[in-house]
Amino acid sequence: MISFAILSYIGVFAQFKKPLNLPNYDNRIIHWGFTFGVNKLDFIMVKEASFANAPAQDNLYGIVHKWQPGAHLGPILEIRLTRYWKLRTLVNLTFQQRNLVYYFDHGEQIVTIPVASTFLQAPVLLKYNGARATNVRPYIIFGAAPTYDISALKRPNNNKPHVYLNTLDLVPEVGTGLEWFLPFFKLSTEIKFGRGLFNVLSPDNSVYTKYIHSLYTTYFMFSLHFEG
């Protein structure tokens, strides 16, 4: 009677235990997928020492940068190196705009210059994942993303205020995420931070660039990765 009760309890408990989805997922060496998400792209600005004299020379009292929300998408390739280490590469298209705002005449005149960017990125990242807890697994990633700004090639010949950027950058990245093993595919939710190494400002003789020493790209990305 006692044995029957124990076996009944085990049977009821097994019904509530979650099934292991994609149990052989890690046996494959190569996985393909697709990613898309949203991002916050911004500048790190370093002003020239001569900016202290800008009010007297050009009536310029302030320069600030303001981020705008953006989006990114692209394919994923992930290669298993060991049980816990993976190599991941992506080809991302990132669409974004940042605004540079100039305050003249004690703020009475404000000039906003939109700086649009379309990044073609190819991040190469090392990924370290923990052990699976049934159908969830945490991971961290780090690496670098060679970046080409397609929009920086566009330089309209007009008299509108403008700030031009250089096309090339290299962006170290670090992030973390969770992998969710679903019945037919794996979904990853990920946050990632990047900070460019190169000064992307393309200076000219205008008042809009002569007081800026350098501009560096920085961003946060939230991504959804779908892998089979």
Helix, coil or strand: residue 143: strand
Best CA proximity match to 110, nearest among 119, 121, 99, 120: 99
What pLDDT shows up at residue 2? Answer: 43
Say yes or no: domain 28-227 is CATH 1.10.630.10: no
Q: What's the mean per-residue pLDDT of the chain?
A: 91
**Which H or E run includes 56?**
helix 54-58
Phi first, then psi: give them for residue 143, nearest 5 degrees. Answer: 170, -150
Sign of the dihedral through C-alpha 177, 143, 124, 213: positive
pTM of the model: 0.86
156 has a pLDDT exceeding 90: no
**Using an 8 Å Cβ cutoff, are 46 and 63 in contact?**
no
Those residues whose C-beta lies under 8 Å from the C-beta of residue 166, and which sit 6 or more positions away, are 149, 152, 198, 199, 200, 201, 202
Residue 222: exposed, middle, or buried by beta-carbon count in 10 A (0-12, 13-18, 19+)? middle
101 has a pLDDT exceeding 70: yes
Mean pLDDT of 202-216: 94
What pLDDT shows up at residue 213? Answer: 96
Best CA proximity match to 43, nearest among 159, 144, 165: 165
Question: Is pLDDT larger for residue 15 or for residue 38?
Answer: 38
What pLDDT shows up at residue 157? Answer: 74
Per-domain residue ranges for the chain? 28-227
What pLDDT shows up at residue 106? Answer: 80
pLDDT in tens, 183-192: 999 999 999 9
Mean pLDDT of 61-79: 95
Buried b (16+ CB within 10 A) or exposed e, 76-106: bebebeeeeebebebebebebbbebebbbee
Strand partners, 62: 103
Mean pLDDT of 151-174: 90
In the chain, the percentage of residues whose pLDDT exceeds 70 is 93
pLDDT in tens, 21-42: 999 999 999 999 999 999 999 9
What pLDDT shows up at residue 158? Answer: 75
10 has a pLDDT exceeding 50: no
What pLDDT shows up at residue 40? Answer: 95
Helices (H) then strands (E): counts for the chain: 2, 12
**Using an 8 Å Cβ cutoff, are 132 and 111 in contact?**
no
Distance CA 12, CA 100 (A): 63
8 has a pLDDT exceeding 60: no
